[in-house]
Amino acid sequence: MNSQDKPGNFVTLLQTAKVEIQGNGSQKVMARLLFDSGSQKSFVRSDLKQALKLKTIRKEKLLIYTFSKRQPKEKIYEVVALKINSQFPPYQSINIEAQASDEITGADIYANINPRLIQSILPASCLISYSYEKTNLQFQILLGADYLYNAMSGEARKIQKNLYLQPTLFGDTLIGQIFNPEDMKQMCALHVSSNAIQNDLKSLWEIDSLLMPNESPEMKPSDTLCNFGKELTITNNRYECPLQWKSPKVRETLGNNFEVAKKRFANLEKRFNHDESLFDRYNAVMKEQIQAGIIEMCSDECFIGYVMPHREVLRDSSSSTKIRIVYDASSKSGTNASLNECRVSGENLNPNLIDVILKFREHKIAFCGDIARAFLQIEVTKSDRNYLCFLYYKNCDKTLPVTMYHFNRHCFGVTCSPFVLAATIKTHIKKYKEKHPLASSNEMLNESLYVDDLFYGSSTIQDAFTLSSDAVSILKDANMNMRKFYTNSKELKNVWLNSNSDIETNEHSDNHLKVLGLVWNNLDDTLGIDLHSLLSNLNENECTKRNVLHTAAKLFDPSGFISPFLIRIKCLLKELWQLGIGWDEVFTGQIKENFQNWCKEIKDLQNLKIPRYYFPD
């Protein structure tokens, strides 16, 4: 914690130092070091590990306990060896082993104090190892209890009532409270952690590991489906299963977040009042779901305390659903658990993304389709429905009071829903295969149905029609509607039209369809990169590390079509890290020129066309 809210303008200093880090070779870098006796292990940032080319000597599994949390997070860290050198005579050093971590702390730990104030209270012989002015350089080393006292070189000395001078191998350090007369206003600092950076990093790097197998699967898919199949029943010609709880008693930890949901709905009402068309579209979805039996009003007796807030997601690029209502099952109040924290996410049963794309490109005649409102086709066991409550207007009438509704079906936004959908479909396919052994059709649905989208093909019109018809028939028996078929073949499209199939017409789709992150043009049968989101938000003049990461993360290229182009921005991002550039610090010079040139070339990617079919005529 970096506390700056003490009365009387006292600022609390944490024990820090500026040191020189050295790897196995002669390369050295300056870094900020944080002493932390509350950590059993020492840590080094992963970008520093890469900059010094530190080799991993082993891996360790740690249980990480964060502030106010009783349950630890299990994580595997790479361990590296390094040397920490002092910048003061007699230039002592210590060798340590540290866990490599992407982040040491997300907080800006500094105390903006005039250096003259520090010097005025210190003995003349002191060599302070750190400047307490604000800096954009992040902490790159955390020295934990495993090595902390090896770095101490003497007894702590009291120099003010609550301020101590602690000699170390790296120079003298300060720890405790200091009065700052230049800052006469009361301060209260709140560090807000955002997931935006982590999400962008995940989008940028995880694509490189698409072909890598899961290192430690908990159980085989066959075991998972077997266990899930025991819970799956059929009610009124529709599959039904309970919520996937971590344990029977975990429900007791679920908190009452009614006030949180109430405030979130009040904010939604403000948007309704500001935009009447938004309310009309939102309300139309609610009415449709009530009529379909997906949601229903429930009595006060059904309320168990947990309520899911909800909001709109506008999708102007969609040919069918222009607005989607998303429910927040991660909402919680205080330290109580959220609904998502009480559930298991389940195994990822979707086929490998690369495999689906490769199979889609094998066939001369390609087609695709999707399941209408797939997540909403599976019933929730009645005893679990009251855990899926939310607030909305009674009878969908804006003039009536807000009341409680609950879901009768599994909904999008809940941790276990993707697993429930995939497991239900795979269980259905397996059961269907035993009754109707259509080998090719079952293989198609098992290996080329990604979440709710089907991508496949064939070498002949007849086979393609048979496969697509089988997909409709098999899923219809699960009360799921496979529709919006789309193809590169005019002949196949005519066959579909004559058979009254649900076709995605060119007038609605503009001949372009998103296919697993790529864009498929069915007229010339080519694949391209989806640039819509990137070009609409591109800002080449904002030369900060945050904007570079945000820009790079918007390019999704699962097949590696533009890897030579993407590697340039990744190298530029790595260079910014090695230079210690802060997230919002403006960079200049050659790096700025390289970034702006890269941005200007993005528009050229619109001309990129890769044949979908491997062997075009």
pLDDT at residue 537 greater than cutoff 50: yes
Average the pLDDT over 548-577 and give the result.
Answer: 91
pLDDT band for position 468 (cuts 50, 70, 90): very high
Q: Which residue has the tokens 């409550």?
A: 389
Q: Are residues 542 and 600 in the same domain?
A: yes
- List the structure tokens of 47: 């970008």
Integer distance in angstroms from the first to the last C-alpha of the chain?
Answer: 65
What is the C-alpha to C-alpha distance for residues 2 and 13, in angstroms, rounded to an integer? 8
pLDDT in tens, 572-589: 998 988 888 888 889 999
Q: Which of 160, 179, 198 is the last residue of a domain?
A: 179
Starting at the earlier edge strand, list the strands of the sheet with 389-393. Answer: 295-297, 402-407, 389-393
The answer to whether residue 490 sits within a structural domain is yes
Q: Are residues 145 and 255 in the same domain?
A: no
* 585: DSSP letter: P
Number of domains in the chain: 3
Q: What is the DSSP annotation of 50-115?
A: HHTTPPEEEEEEEEEPPTT-SS-EEEEEEEEEEEEE-SSTT--EEEEEEEEES-S-SS-------H
CA distances from 57 to 51, 60, 77, 80, 85 (A): 17, 10, 11, 6, 21
pLDDT in tens, 93-121: 999 999 999 888 766 666 666 666 676 67
Q: Are residues 534 and 506 in the same domain?
A: no
pLDDT band for position 189 (cuts 50, 70, 90): very low
Q: Are residues 463 and 326 in the same domain?
A: yes
Rg of the chain (C-alpha set): 29
The answer to whether residue 185 sits within a structural domain is no
Other CB atoms closer than 10 Å to residue 448's CB: what's the count?
Answer: 21
Q: Are residues 499 and 559 in the same domain?
A: no
Residue 106 has a pLDDT of 65
Residue 261 maps to which CATH number?
A: 3.10.10.10
pLDDT in tens, 245-297: 988 888 888 889 999 999 999 999 999 999 999 999 999 999 999 999 999 99
Average the pLDDT over 160-179 and give the result.
Answer: 86
- Give the range among 24-33, 165-174, 395-404 with minimum mean pLDDT: 24-33
pLDDT band for position 540 (cuts 50, 70, 90): confident
Q: Are residues 398 and 482 in the same domain?
A: yes
The answer to whether residue 371 sits within a structural domain is yes
Residue 105 maps to which CATH number?
A: 2.40.70
CA distances from 456 to 374, 448, 561 (A): 19, 6, 20
What is the C-alpha to C-alpha distance for residues 151 and 447, in angstroms, rounded to an integer? 57
The answer to whether residue 520 sits within a structural domain is no
Q: Are residues 130 and 105 in the same domain?
A: yes
Residue 565 has a pLDDT of 95
CB 417 within 8 A of CB 307: no
574 is in which domain, residue-wise? 526-611
CB 405 within 8 A of CB 392: yes
pLDDT at residue 503 greater than cutoff 60: no
Residue 132 has a pLDDT of 61
The answer to whether residue 184 sits within a structural domain is no
The answer to whether residue 518 sits within a structural domain is no
Q: Are residues 595 and 555 in the same domain?
A: yes
Other CB atoms closer than 10 Å to residue 338's CB: what's the count?
Answer: 20
- Give the rounded percent of residues in the chain with a pLDDT score beyond 90: 45
Q: Are residues 159 and 250 in the same domain?
A: no
pLDDT band for position 525 (cuts 50, 70, 90): very high
Amino acid at 212: M
Q: Which residue has the tokens 């349950």?
A: 71
The answer to whether residue 220 sits within a structural domain is no
Q: What is the DSSP annotation of 2-66?
A: ----BTTTEEEEP-EEEEEEE-SSS-EEEEEEEE-TT-SS-EEEHHHHHHTTPPEEEEEEEEEPP
Q: Are residues 495 and 537 in the same domain?
A: no
The answer to whether residue 200 sits within a structural domain is no
What is the C-alpha to C-alpha distance for residues 333 and 338, in angstroms, rounded to an integer? 8
Q: Are residues 111 and 171 in the same domain?
A: yes
